[in-house]
Copies of this chain bind each other. A is one copy, B any other.
Amino acid sequence: MKFIYSIVCCFLFQTAFAQDYSDKITLVIHGGAGTITRANMTPEKEKAYREALNTALQKGYAILKKGGTSLQAVEAAIMVMEDSPLFNAGKGAVFTNEGKNELDAAIMEGNTLKAGAIAGVTTIKNPIRGAIAVMEKSPHVLMAGKGADQFAKEQGLEIVDPAYFYTEARFKALQKAKEQEKIELDHSENKKEIKKAPKTGYSKDEDLIFTEGKKFGTVGCVALDKFGNLTAGTSTGGMTNKKYGRVGDAPIIGAGTYANNTTCAVSATGHGEFFIRSVVAYDISSLMEYKGLTVKEAADEVVMKKLVERGGEGGVIALDRNGNIAMPFNSEGMYRGFIKSDGKGEVMIYKDEK
């Protein structure tokens, strides 16, 4: 009897005093960073990107607004970008040297510190859902290769033929990268080399899509729900022409993805190797937890200072429990956007957009 009384009291206490974060709900997304400039863009292309980013924001927001969790919102927003051929994640993923699409994704919950990730999968239609299944339905955090595909299938996730991920533009980008007989490294020296490479006669549109291949094509989302819980998610197809089962930072908890209610939720996009070595996402969290920096100060310190000094190009989106946002990037542009409780989404691409 005493026990039941305690439970009832505890419940009433929690209900009465649990902070309501309804006016703080926030969702932030990115669709990759890199050499994204007005000179490289056509009006049609820009419109398509802005529309896709807006759709992702609105899908995620609708869930938060009707009281859903940040996990559900992150899943929905990322699925929009995975399903769009514009982004290097899910449909539209870049090709490996062997002409395959190998996908990585990760998810982390800030209230439980639970996480899930998959690397090098080839048949899961929405890799972010694979990562969520690993977190929720297995005792593991990271699964790789065929085992991860098998797990997703057993969990009843939508499985597709690997050909589903094919897009002509990405396939041409692979051919172009192969013509240049070099692995697409996505960093500055190579960009210069690529600029010097002979013209291959592709149309401007194809060149643009190829530019996508040179970008750090990754999508990500961080969200805060009305319960005050943060979630971070990231999904990517990796690097064009990648070899040897290379895995980047996206599925590495602490590097490309991290969430903790006491600090922030982070999703990164950039030259993965530098982001892994610098443990980027957890470093932002650590600077907040141990040095008392704000989310903006911490994200700026890591992206605009540490990564720049180490030669790591890219950016992050970060969000704290009060709805404060940071979206720093040290590249020429980053597809990004945010939406707050008023429902007005804002989408940005270039450096000069605030």
Over the window 277-320 of chain A, the binary record of Cβ atoms lying under 8 Å from chain B Cβ atoms (1 yes, 0 no) is 11100110011001100000000000000000010000000000
By a CB distance below 8 angstroms, the chain B residues around A246 are: 140, 142-143, 147
Judged by a CB distance under 8 angstroms, whether A17 is at the interface is no
Judged by a CB distance under 8 angstroms, whether A115 is at the interface is yes
Shortest CB distance A170–B (Å): 19
Judged by a CB distance under 8 angstroms, whether A273 is at the interface is yes
User: Which chain B residue lies CB-closest to A291?
Assistant: B290
Judged by a CB distance under 8 angstroms, whether A151 is at the interface is yes
Judged by a CB distance under 8 angstroms, whether A144 is at the interface is yes
Bound CA span A175–B287, Å: 47
Say which residue of B115, B142, B183, B253 sits within 8 Å of A139 (CB atoms). B183
Bound CA span A290–B293, Å: 11
Q: Are B145 and A145 in contact (CB under 8 A)?
A: yes
By a CB distance below 8 angstroms, the chain B residues around A143 are: 244-247
Judged by a CB distance under 8 angstroms, whether A194 is at the interface is no
Number of interface residues of A (CB under 8 A): 45
Q: Enumerate A141-187 residues with CB–CB distance to B below 8 Å.
A: 141-148, 150-151, 183, 185
Query: What is the count of identical protomers in the complex?
Result: 2
Given contacts A253-B276, A254-B282, contact A245 B146 (CB under 8 A): yes
Q: Interface majority SS on A: helix, strand, loop or mixed?
A: mixed
Q: Are A279 and B282 in contact (CB under 8 A)?
A: yes
Q: Are A279 and B291 in contact (CB under 8 A)?
A: no
User: Which chain B residue lies CB-closest to A115?
Assistant: B277
User: Which chain B residue lies CB-closest to A190?
Assistant: B139
Question: A residues bordering B, Cβ < 8 Å?
Answer: 108, 113-115, 119-120, 138-148, 150-151, 183, 185, 243-248, 252-255, 258, 272-273, 276-279, 282-283, 286-287, 290-291, 310
Task: List 10 tightest A-B contacts by C-beta distance, closest first.
Answer: A147-B245, A290-B290, A147-B244, A254-B279, A286-B286, A151-B244, A144-B245, A142-B247, A279-B282, A254-B254
